[in-house]
Amino acid sequence: ETGVTQTPRHLVMGMTNKKSLKCEQHLGHNAMYWYKQSAKKPLELMFVYNFKEQTENNSVPSRFSPECPNSSHLFLHLHTLQPEDSALYLCASSQYRGQGEQYFGPGTRLTVT
């Protein structure tokens, strides 16, 4: 595997379910990011990790819970989501936080029913 991978690619979940999104980067980077991409809205940065430490949480509801066990892996744990949380969730990485050259995964298309 090369670059940034995300699993699953598609996820349908009910509002009472608990699920997790996984991201893995094979680039030796130290910073990882979660973004939310909704139709007709700008890309929203959700969380940033630098050397496994969370450096940003952009007022994300607590039903989204990130986890970064090491610099190569990033998870987004989901529980009691709302239909408006349906979106494409993108993971990205960069050598260090604050760099503009970010490498994105293909995203997980999430539908909340």
Partner 1 sequence: GNSVTQMEGPVTLSEEAFLTINCTYTATGYPSLFWYVQYPGEGLQLLLKATKADDKGSNKGFEATYRKETTSFHLEKGSVQVSDSAVYFCALISGYSTLTFGKGTMLLVSP
* Angle subtended at Cα 85 by Cα 80 and Cα 87, rounded to the nearest 5 degrees: 140
Choose between 44 and 67: whose C-beta lies nearer to partner 1. 44
| Residue 45 lies near partner 1 (rule: CB under 8 A) | yes
Which burial class, exposed, middle or buried, applies to 62 when counting CB atoms under 10 A from its CB (0-12, 13-18, 19+)? Answer: exposed
Q: Which of 24, 29, 30, 33 binds partner 1 (CB under 8 A)?
A: 33
| Residue 66 lies near partner 1 (rule: CB under 8 A) | no
Q: Is the peptide bond before 8 cis (omega within 30 degrees of 0)?
A: yes
Helix (H, G, I), strand (E, B) or coil at 27: coil
Choose between 38 and 70: whose C-beta lies nearer to partner 1. 38
Stretch that binds partner 1, among 12-20, 33-41, 63-71, 72-80 (CB under 8 A): 33-41
| Residue 105 lies near partner 1 (rule: CB under 8 A) | yes
Tokens of 82: 């709302």
